[in-house]
Amino acid sequence: MTKAEIQLVRALADKRGRTEHGLFVAEGEKLIGELRASHLRVRKLFALEGVFEGPEVETVAPRDMERLSLLKTAGNSLALVETPRYELDTESLKGRLTLALDDVQNPGNLGTIIRLADWFGITDIVCSPGSADCFNPKVVQATMGAILRVRVHYTELAACLATAAAQGIPVYGTFLEGENIYRTELTPEGIVVMGNEGRGVTEAVARTVTRKLFIPPWPAGRRGSESLNVAMATGIICSEFRRQTSAKAGY
């Protein structure tokens, strides 16, 4: 392991470095094992003795792994992975459920949402440019491998959603003044917009929403927390969409 390799790993902790090198960091035996079996390409792999084998693997000592790791507690392996590029075509979103994130900036929230999307069979997430980078090391770890199966796109969100709505794709948004999600008939397809942790959905994106949804507190009208964490709200929304689709399909 060279000094240049350590500097490269350190550079990949920052979005600018990831963009410049076209690489991101993944750590841990389970995640890297999934990566090696996926469509993504592992450029270089540092691991303790006996963990992995292959031409791209360099065996390092525990002390060196601690120097490399971007985590508080170093694992037994660290991989440099080529960043995938996905094309976004709104026509391809017809007939299925998609998430749209409007400036969701917390890496932990984004990682959890990607993991939720994978659990509920959602293969695409469309993000505004102001959202957290899905290849941030904290996001990658929080996805628990879901980043391999969910395509995350970054684009001007308002324009993308306006195009989708014009193509007949329902655009749902979460608001405090929307329809009660449990009393609203939801379609099996559509794009669901989740807003920023503090500001909610931006005005430009809100104008593209064709149906506003609200997750009511229990009991109705009770005063309590001002709002739900965006990742929690996403889980509730996805669950209700899938519950209704399952009920209509009879399973």
Of the three residues 82, 114, 131, the one that is the final residue of a domain is 82
Q: Is 39 in the same domain as 95? A: no
Q: Is 112 in the same domain as 32? A: no
Q: Is 196 in the same domain as 230? A: yes
C-alpha distances out from residue 171 to 7, 224, 239, 244, Å:
44, 28, 17, 17
Q: How far apart are CA 49 and CA 60, in angstroms?
A: 7
Q: According to the model, what pLDDT value does residue 72 have?
A: 87
Order across the sheet with 42-47: list the strands. Answer: 23-27, 77-82, 42-47, 57-59
Q: Is 113 in the same domain as 16? A: no
Q: What residues make up the domain containing 52? A: 3-82
Q: Is 114 in the same domain as 232? A: yes
Q: Is 143 in the same domain as 208? A: yes
Is 0.85 topped by the overall pTM?
Answer: yes
Q: Is 202 in the same domain as 159? A: yes
Q: According to the model, what pLDDT value does residue 219 have?
A: 75
Q: Is 37 in the same domain as 21? A: yes
Q: Is 116 in the same domain as 169? A: yes
Q: Is 62 in the same domain as 104? A: no
Q: According to the model, what pLDDT value does residue 176 have?
A: 86
CATH number, domain with residue 25: 3.30.1330.30
Q: Is 44 in the same domain as 94? A: no
* Positions in the chain whose pLDDT score sits under 70: 221-225
Of the three residues 60, 82, 104, the one that is the final residue of a domain is 82
- Kindly give the interhelix angle for 107-119 and 230-249, rounded to the nearest 10 degrees: 10
Q: According to the model, what pLDDT value does residue 223 have?
A: 66
